[in-house]
Amino acid sequence: MKRSEYRMNLDFLEEYDHSTTGYEVFDVMATPNGAPMLLMVSKRPEPAAWSIVGNLFSVHFLSHADLMDYIKKRGMMRWTDELDRSSNICGAQNGIPLIF
């Protein structure tokens, strides 16, 4: 038995750009525990039109309906000012932003 007999042909993935260079930020979402996730939309209609970028991964979607299903199933919500203050992602101390 040759190992290649059991390998899935993934050549179709080569046509998709899985980087974020072809996308622009559309919105910021939060997981139920408050982790930020970037919701991105493709600059072109092809390849995948939507993407969610997390800390160590990105997920691409071919339709807005699939994206919304992913968001709902994981209990994600739109990023709010309160999440921004409580997360301290921007380095704010007591609501006062740091000046560089």
Q: Identify the pLDDT of residue 93.
A: 55
pLDDT in tens, 27-48: 999 999 888 899 998 887 766 6
The radius of gyration of the chain's CA atoms, rounded to the nearest angstrom, is: 18
pLDDT in tens, 57-100: 888 888 889 999 999 999 999 998 888 888 777 665 555 554 44
Whole-prediction pTM: 0.65
HEC per residue, 6-74: HCCCCHHHHHCCCCCCCEEEEEEEECCCCCEEEEEEECCCCCCCEEEECCCCEEEECCHHHHHHHHHHC
